[in-house]
């Protein structure tokens, strides 16, 4: 067993946290994966090589970090909790290619922390062939804004391998006209290919969460992303159309473009795309939603 694996056992974590005076029950969104095979599966699924700069959000005790560091050029790892940051610093001191940041990965809900991004860019710039990847056991509360905001960047990670709530994985991979399908499904699927690697029950984590989790691989596709001329417009447009998901499409559109297009204009757009307006937004495929967004954008800009 390697040093990184030893630190992923339940008995080791309990002892180490007790020694450090860390009470996880007072902290939110911190669940440590204690199945060594699953920790290794995350690292394996990240497809890391010596040219890769890896961003990890949620260092925790540093167990996954160590596995990533053994495979990549640089690991930039972010931990918001001061106690866990200090604990991980002790564990990871043996890895000179690990850069530890004690901060929130988000500057606010709709913006990534610029200091974190600058650190990644600094290491990407050191060699011409370096690639950026994300690999993380994400704290539950940060997963949606982090993944969404990464896809707003002109240069997102080439591969995002993450552990998230299964409920969120279901939303990301959902098909039209299902209960989980929504703005996030469309935002990710119009830009990426998505693969469900493994579903994980609550008992493989400590403390045990109340829900199942999943390892998901999200791979941005440049050809898909090139079909979206204005990602900011598209992102906001899709979110607007799912504000009241039971409303009919025509009503949602009228609300989204109020003050910019009148009813006749909206009806003309719908007719152009072969839509009646009596559909609901959840019935449109990601490609149909992109076509609708682009048609609206051409009329309002």
Write down the domain spans for the chain. 3-223, 231-300
Using alpha carbons, select from 225, 230, 99 the residue that is nearest to residue 157.
225
Homologous superfamily of the 231-300 domain (CATH): rRNA adenine dimethylase, C-terminal domain (1.10.8.100)
Closest to 75 measured CA to CA, from 93, 53, 59: 53
As a whole-number percent, the residues of the chain with pLDDT over 90 amount to 85
Helix (H) or strand (E) holding 135: strand 131-137
Please say if the pLDDT value at position 81 is more than 60.
yes
Of the pLDDT bands very low, low, confident and very high (cuts 50, 70, 90), residue 7 is: low
pLDDT value of residue 86: 93
Which region holds residue 128: left if phi is over 0, alpha if psi is between -120 and 50, else beta? alpha
pLDDT of residue 133 exceeding 70, the answer is yes
Quick one: pLDDT at residue 23? 76
Summarize pLDDT for 205-245 with one digit per residue, the tens. 998 999 999 999 999 999 999 999 999 999 999 999 999 98
In this predicted structure, the answer to whether residue 3 has a pLDDT above a threshold of 50 is: no
Architecture of domain 3-223: 3-Layer(aba) Sandwich (3.40)
Nearest 5 degrees, angle CA 157-CA 159-CA 162?
105
* pLDDT attached to residue 109: 86
B/e letters for 52-83, b = 16+ CB within 10 Å, e = fewer, are bbbbbbbbbbbbbbbbbbebbbbbbbbbbbee
Residue located via tokens 């290619």? 97
The mean predicted confidence, pLDDT, of the chain is: 93
**Mean pLDDT, to the nearest integer, of 267-278?**
96
Q: pLDDT at residue 136 above 80?
A: yes
pLDDT in tens, 141-172: 899 999 999 999 999 999 999 999 999 999 99
Cβ atoms of 281 and 289 within 8 Å: the answer is yes
**7 or 55: which carries more pLDDT confidence?**
55
pTM for this predicted structure: 0.94
Chain mean position to CA 98 = 21
- Identify which of 76, 79, 144 has the alpha carbon closest to the alpha carbon of residue 110: 144
Which of 8-17, 114-123, 175-184, 237-246 is the least confident region? 8-17
**190 vs 158, 184, 225, 226, 228, CA distance in Å?**
15, 10, 7, 10, 9
- Asked whether 196 and 214 are in contact (CB, 8 A), the reply is yes
Residue 47 φ/ψ region, left for φ over 0, alpha for ψ in the -120 to 50 degree band, beta for the rest: left
Please report the pLDDT score of residue 232 as a whole number. Answer: 96
């Amino acid at each position: 067993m390697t040093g990184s694996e030893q630190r992923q056992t339940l008995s080791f974590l309990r002892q180490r946290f007790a020694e450090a005076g860390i009470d996880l029950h007072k902290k939110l969104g911190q669940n440590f994966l204690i199945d060594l095979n699953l920790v290794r599966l995350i690292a394996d699924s990240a497809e890391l090589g010596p040219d890769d700069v890896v961003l990890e959000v949620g260092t925790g005790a540093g167990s996954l970090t160590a596995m990533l560091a053994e495979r990549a050029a640089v690991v930039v790892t972010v931990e918001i909790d001061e106690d866990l940051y200090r604990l991980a610093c002790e564990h990871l001191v043996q890895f000179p290619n690990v850069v530890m940041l004690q901060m929130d990965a988000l500057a606010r809900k709709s913006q990534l922390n610029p200091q974190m991004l600058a650190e990644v860019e600094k290491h990407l710039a050191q060699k011409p062939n370096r690639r950026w990847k994300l690999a993380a056991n994400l704290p539950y509360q940060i997963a949606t804004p982090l993944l969404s905001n990464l896809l707003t960047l002109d240069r997102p990670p080439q591969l995002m391998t993450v552990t998230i709530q299964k409920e969120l994985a279901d939303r990301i991979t959902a098909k039209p006209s299902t209960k989980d399908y929504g703005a996030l499904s469309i935002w990710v699927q119009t830009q990426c290919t998505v693969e469900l690697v493994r579903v994980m029950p609550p008992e493989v984590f400590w403390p045990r969460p109340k829900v199942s989790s999943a390892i998901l691989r999200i791979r941005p596709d440049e050809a898909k992303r090139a079909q979206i001329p204005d990602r900011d417009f598209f992102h906001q447009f899709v979110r607007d159309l799912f504000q009241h998901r039971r409303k009919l499409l025509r009503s949602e559109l009228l609300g989204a473009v109020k003050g910019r297009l009148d009813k006749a204009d909206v009806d003309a757009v719908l007719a152009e795309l072969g839509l009646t307006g009596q559909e609901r937004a959840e019935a449109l495929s990601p490609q149909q939603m992109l076509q609708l967004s682009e048609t609206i954008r051409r009329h309002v800009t």
